[in-house]
Amino acid sequence: METDGHSPLKFICSDGSVYYVKYRSGKSFDKKEIHCLVFEMICTRLLQRLHIPVPEHALVSISKDSYASGQIKVNKRYIKPGVIGWGSKEIEQTDLIKEIEQIQKRKEFNKLLNPDDLIRIAIFDLWVDNADRHSGNYNLLVKMEDGKLKIITIDHAFTFGGLKGMNIFNNTTQPSPHRKLIESQYFRSVVKHFSKNERLEISNGFLSLIPELDIENLVNEVFAQIPTEWDADPGLKKRIIDFLKSEQRLIALQQICKQQLQKNFWRKKS
């Protein structure tokens, strides 16, 4: 599937479900691009623990004769039988949120099942330094559930600074709202329907959950599942733990959230 990132492969897997499978796309010659799959695993596990809607995931082993080489032009450099990729389970009947789909009226806002999760996702992105959810590319799905649209977050390969930052991120890397969801037009169009006190209440509640996470154990569990053939950097695990647990970063995160969520988001006159 053509994307501006890993161009995931769509496979029917042995459990009968469809997965979007990522490995190395062939667009990058940096061997450490494989770390993006580690980031997907870490972030999906964190999002699940934080009760934010995210697709189920699994490691996927590519079997012989499961594809034709002409179908995987972008991936043919690396995809071979026996390769283990990271798979995101398909959620049927969903649509990608597009930039033009802004929530201007209260009636539109009321159609959202979990608009408060959009604030939590924006904070999560600041925390993990997601470089791939901003205006024009939200990586958010909506699915009709109980007569309303449920927001679901996807695609966390370019967290921890993305391709440009994955080799240098550390516990002193400060969170920044620049080119993040929290500064996007879609985010503002939704959040303006919350009062400032409501926004801060949602934010403070979510931020209070982060220190309660057993981050070290969670990261250790993920690394215990990483295939040895991915050849992940031996120092990556500690860097991730230190990055996520950094008190300095969490303090900065709290300040950014307070500043951003107290802004006046109104519809500009044409």
Residue 270 lies in a domain: no
Comparing CA positions, the residue from 143, 131, 171, 123 lying closest to residue 54 is: 143
Yes or no: say if 193 and 34 are a contact pair by the CB < 8 Å rule: no
CA pair distance 82, 173, nearest whole angstrom: 37
Yes or no: say if 159 and 43 are a contact pair by the CB < 8 Å rule: yes
Domain region containing 20: 9-89
Provide the strand spans (E) within the chain: 9-12, 18-22, 57-61, 84-89, 94-96, 140-145, 148-153
The pLDDT value given to residue 270: 34
Residue 124 binned pLDDT confidence (cut-offs 50, 70, 90): very high
Per-residue model confidence as pLDDT tens digits over 140-152 = 999 999 999 999 9
Q: Is the pLDDT of residue 239 over 80?
A: yes
100 and 82 inside one domain: no
Domain limit, last residue, from 35, 60, 89: 89
136 and 181 inside one domain: yes
Number of domains making up the chain: 2
CA pair distance 243, 160, nearest whole angstrom: 9
Residue 144 lies in a domain: yes
Helices (DSSP H) in 31-184: which residue ranges? 35-49, 106-109, 115-128, 162-165
62 and 124 inside one domain: no
Per-residue model confidence as pLDDT tens digits over 161-215 = 998 999 999 999 999 999 999 999 999 999 999 999 999 999 999 999 999 999 9
Per-residue model confidence as pLDDT tens digits over 248-263 = 999 999 999 999 999 9
- Plot region of 24 (φ>0 → left; ψ -120 to 50 → alpha; else → beta): beta
23 and 136 inside one domain: no
Provide the whole-model pTM: 0.95
Per-residue model confidence as pLDDT tens digits over 18-51 = 999 999 876 666 788 999 999 999 999 999 999 9
Per-residue model confidence as pLDDT tens digits over 189-199 = 999 999 999 99
Question: Hey, is 236 helix, strand or coil?
Answer: helix
Domain limit, last residue, from 63, 89, 115: 89
Residue 3 lies in a domain: no
Share of the chain above pLDDT 90, in %: 83
- Plot region of 51 (φ>0 → left; ψ -120 to 50 → alpha; else → beta): left
CA pair distance 27, 19, nearest whole angstrom: 21
Residue 111 lies in a domain: yes
Bridge partners of residue 85, in order along the sequence: 60
Find the CATH number of the domain harbouring 102. Answer: 1.10.1070
Domain limit, last residue, from 60, 89, 118: 89
The pLDDT value given to residue 5: 64
CA pair distance 111, 198, nearest whole angstrom: 18
